[in-house]
Amino acid sequence: MFKSACAPLALACTAFVSACATTAPAATDAAADLATDPQKFSYSIGADIGHNLSQPQIKGNVDVPSLEKGLEESFAGKPLRLTDQQRTEIKTAISKQIQAQQAADRAAAVQKNKDEGDKFLADNAIKTGVKTTASGLQYEVLTEGQGDHPAASDKVTVNYKGSLLDGTVFDSSYDRGQPVSFPLNNVIPGWTEGVQLMTPGSKYKFYIPAKLAYGERGAPPKIGPNSTLVFEVELIGVEKAAAAPAPAPAKSKVK
């Protein structure tokens, strides 16, 4: 729901450096032949390299026996079978292929998500109880509250659950067991607009078009490009923004 989101992970082409920070699925049992620190260290590097290279965009371009030969021969100081230039050229060529495929996959996802979102919102707009604002934001009142509506400059405390159109929950304060507080003008436009319609104690369901959420950039890895989002929001409290200090009176000029 917040405006900024982490960018997608860059393609890892250097195995050792990325291996040091990679998180791979944990093993259930420690192997008996990993008794010494060098064995454990070496196995960990190999496991992380394997995890990096198993990513869908990379895996099809990796031949494990050749990878092992390159590692063994380079580690042993043997003459390498490809020159520096040849190795650079093939890595560059494969990287370009991967980037081109990623761009094509992203373009397809942008259009697919847009089409699905447009259809969902068109069908949803005619359902009983669903209202649509001028911006295209849709909402339902699940429980009405009372009191003052928050302004965009106010700080609000809410419980919420966010999900994709397929029902996948990508974020939930309920799951974390506590509400969150934030300035209302520091979230996506659909939230800023929608929560201002609420009063303390109310619970609304918002259907937020991509243009009022994360747009074509999405919020990887959980929210794809052009994703329409569904939020259930319970407004718990409102902290009014401090009033701006009144300007000092102008000093009269002495004649």
In this prediction, residue 38 carries a pLDDT of: 94
Mean pLDDT of the chain: 88
Mean pLDDT in residue range 153-176:
97
Please report the DSSP string for 78-144 in residue order: PPPSS-HHHHHHHHHHHHHHHHHHHHHHHHHHHHHHHHHHHHHHHHHHTSTT-EE-TTS-EEEEEE-
Cβ atoms 208, 229 nearer than 8 A = yes
101 closest CA partner among 60, 152, 151: 60
As beta bridge partners, residue 139 has 131, 206
Mean pLDDT in residue range 76-81:
95
As beta bridge partners, residue 157 has 181, 237
In this prediction, residue 13 carries a pLDDT of: 42
How does pLDDT run across 167-195, given as a tens digit for each residue? 999 999 999 999 999 999 999 999 999 99
Pick the CATH number of 130-239 from 3.40.50.410, 3.40.50.300, 3.30.70.330, 3.10.50.40: 3.10.50.40
Tokens of 239: 């902290």
Judged against a pLDDT cut of 70, whether residue 15 lies above it is answered with no
Mean pLDDT in residue range 199-204:
98
Tokens of 6: 């982490």
Judged against a pLDDT cut of 50, whether residue 6 lies above it is answered with no
In the chain, where are the structural domains located?
130-239
In this prediction, residue 57 carries a pLDDT of: 84
Tokens of 8: 């997608």
How does pLDDT run across 31-57, given as a tens digit for each residue? 668 889 999 999 999 999 999 999 888
Cβ atoms 140, 200 nearer than 8 A = no
State the catalytic residues. Answer: 160, 170-171, 188, 214, 231
Is the pTM above the cut of 0.85? no
Mean pLDDT in residue range 158-164:
98
Burial (CB count within 10 angstroms: exposed 0-12, middle 13-18, buried 19+), residue 214: buried
Among 131-135, 138-142, 225-229, 237-241, which is the least confidently predicted range? Answer: 237-241
Among 4-13, 69-78, 198-207, which is the least confidently predicted range? Answer: 4-13
In this prediction, residue 30 carries a pLDDT of: 58
In this prediction, residue 241 carries a pLDDT of: 83
Q: How many CB atoms lie within 10 A of CB 158?
A: 23
